[in-house]
Structure 1
Amino acid sequence: MPAKTFSIMGDSISTFEGCVPDGYTLFYNDERLERSGVLRPEDTWWSHAVRALGGTVLADSAWSGSMVEGAGFPAASSPERAAALLGPDGQAPDAVLVFIGINDYGWGGAEAQAAGRSHAMPRCIDPATVPEQIAGAAPADAVKRFGAAYRTMLRNIRAAAPEAAVYCITLLPGRTHGVDHPEFCYRLRGRHLDEYNAAIRDAAAAEGCRVADVRAFGRDYDSLEGTHPTNLGMRQFASMVVRAMQLADSAGVEAAAEAVAGAKAGEDEEALIAGAGANAEAPTSPNPARTQAEGDTHDNIEDITAGAQPETANPALDLRDFCGAPESAQLCDAPTCIGCPHAANTGNQWLCRCLK
């Protein structure tokens, strides 16, 4: 893989204090560092992945709570977010890792995000013009609109970094640390998580980008509350990302998803696995001079995760078993989680957790 400099387009899962542009909101800062075990930039999924690929991180355009869809900044489809992928002197990366969309799934649409008064709602919207309300079912065209916004985002990335290889990472279910069974809500607001993944694959193909199809491995990652990775979850996810990128490079754009599915069935390419990390360089942090932005509150995780400390030993990635990432499973066929007594939260502090 020739890329040497990488930039990240993401949401809260990809934030870390001191690594995002000034004013961007964070998840990984303050007390959440200790709670998650993600203590340094080097503990993030993107740092693990880039080091394994022998590269360095140029910029981290990650905004906590941001969606792809939205009327303007900080939505990932805004030109400003693509511009933040460039280095401090305007240099373009060799590759862009795009991992975003879980907030589109969680809110069910940009209108719900604005009506729910999310801290990441577009700055161009006057809250006084949007009646405040609790998020409900996703509209019928939610996935179609997500796909259109994702294509806009990719076009903006291409405009900002025309020569960069762009890898679109599919969405993946998390599992709360200490839970021994699948718990992810696959139809939180009535539209299945994999409908959003299909939209990501279609958008990537239409815009000439590659798909790092981590979802096709059929694994969960360890998390604080079903969404935000722990130290172990970061390594599990990074392992899947690196392997999926290898397969995307090997198979080409159109065959990437099929190749990942084959790898899940045991058709691993030993040379690719053995080569990962062989050229890894010393850890580096993107834009270390940039200051920490004020973080989010995320009050909905306080009672769930207090005191839960993931394993922090053995930081190496694992491209065969993905650091023990457990198998995913959908245990409920209900058409929506709204109104279900087992759903942890389907309101404006939504969680992708089934407590059944």
Structure 2
Amino acid sequence: MKKTITLFCLLMLVLVPAPAQVRRTIAVLGDSYSTFQGFIPEGNAIWYYSPANKQQTDVERVEQTWWWQVIKQGGYKMGMINAYSGATICNTGYDDADFSDRSFVTRCRNLGNPDIILICGATNDSWAGVKMGEYKYGDWRRADLYYFRPAMAKMLNDIRLYYPNVDVYFILNSQLKDDINNSVVEVCRHYDVPVIKLKDIDKKSGHPSIKGMKSFAEQVLKAIK
């Protein structure tokens, strides 16, 4: 009898397929570099369209975006792509305008239910010349969030709070101001968030081209795999 039960159990182990590996979901919090028509929340400003505006980019298919390549090649699932062209991390935008409706610190709670969060930002903060402010890791006031360093800290604090046990990475663009670069590294170190520093990204009108997107994706995949 015991031999019969043992043989039956062994047979079941052979015949019953092992459960498929669960694919992890990636969410993106980004600016123009991560936009694509039809793949971001309605109302968010877009840089990459289909068909493309050839004067500003040669990227015209979603499959050419850095994040689509990361998801496809890495075997991940696509989650929320919350990207907004021109968005700053802090609430201050170009010409000292109030960008609190589109800033990263405002949008960081709207990322769905991911396993991995990729933050690609700080480019517009650098280009807009926003004020750095002081490093501040708690007791933020609304006025603090118009400065880069406290806004960066509040964003990562909220992500850690609202998305526990999620892997978070910050993707840092090349050719940004030293104050921005150093501040990103310092704040990310405080929240134990790895920084992926992009190198040699081919660009057109300041934005990744098809070639640049491919290199972008390769560098991100290498860092998160």
The TM-score bracket by the shorter chain reads 0.7 to 0.9
Task: Work out whether residues 11 and 64 of structure 1, in 8 Å CA contact, stay in contact via their aligned partners in 2.
Answer: yes
Paired with 1:33 and 1:163, the residues of 2 have a C-alpha distance of: 40
Paired with 2:180 and 2:224, the residues of 1 have a C-alpha distance of: 19
**Alpha-carbon distance change, 106 to 161 in structure 1, aligned in 2, over 3 angstroms:** same
Paired with 1:237 and 1:245, the residues of 2 have a C-alpha distance of: 13
**Alpha-carbon distance change, 73 to 162 in structure 1, aligned in 2, over 3 angstroms:** farther
Paired with 2:185 and 2:72, the residues of 1 have a C-alpha distance of: 26
1:83 maps onto 2:109 in alignment: yes
1:153 maps onto 2:155 in alignment: yes
TM-superposed deviation, 1:49: 1.6
| Equivalent residues in 2 for 1:84-123, closer than 5 Å | 84-86=110-112, 92-109=113-130
Counterpart code for 1:245? I
1:73 maps onto 2:97 in alignment: no
Task: Work out whether residues 67 and 103 of structure 1, in 8 Å CA contact, stay in contact via their aligned partners in 2.
Answer: yes
Counterpart code for 1:224? K
1:200 maps onto 2:178 in alignment: no
| Equivalent residues in 2 for 1:210-249, closer than 5 Å | 210-214=194-198, 219-225=199-205, 227-246=206-225
**Which of 50, 53, 67 does residue 46 from structure 1 map onto?**
67
Which structure would you say has the larger Rg?
A: 2
| Equivalent residues in 2 for 1:2-81, closer than 5 Å | 4-30=24-50, 32=52, 34=54, 36-70=57-91, 72-78=100-106, 81=107
Q: Which structure shows the bigger proportion of residues in helix conformation?
A: 2
Task: Work out whether residues 118 and 169 of structure 2, in 8 Å CA contact, stay in contact via their aligned partners in 1.
Answer: yes
Paired with 1:63 and 1:28, the residues of 2 have a C-alpha distance of: 11
Task: Work out whether residues 149 and 187 of structure 2, in 8 Å CA contact, stay in contact via their aligned partners in 1.
Answer: yes
Paired with 2:53 and 2:65, the residues of 1 have a C-alpha distance of: 11
TM-superposed deviation, 1:4: 1.1
Gaps of at least 5 residues in structure 1 are 87-91, 110-138, 174-185, 187-192, 247-356
Report the secondary structure of 1:21's partner residue. coil
Paired with 1:33 and 1:8, the residues of 2 have a C-alpha distance of: 23
TM-superposed deviation, 1:160: 2.9
Q: What TM-score does the superposition give when structure 1 sets the normalisation length?
A: 0.48
Paired with 2:124 and 2:133, the residues of 1 have a C-alpha distance of: 12
| 1:232-260, Cα deviation, whole Å (9 max, x unpaired) | 110011112222334xxxxxxxxxxxxxx
Aligned residue pairs, count: 185
Task: Work out whether residues 143 and 195 of structure 1, in 8 Å CA contact, stay in contact via their aligned partners in 2.
Answer: no
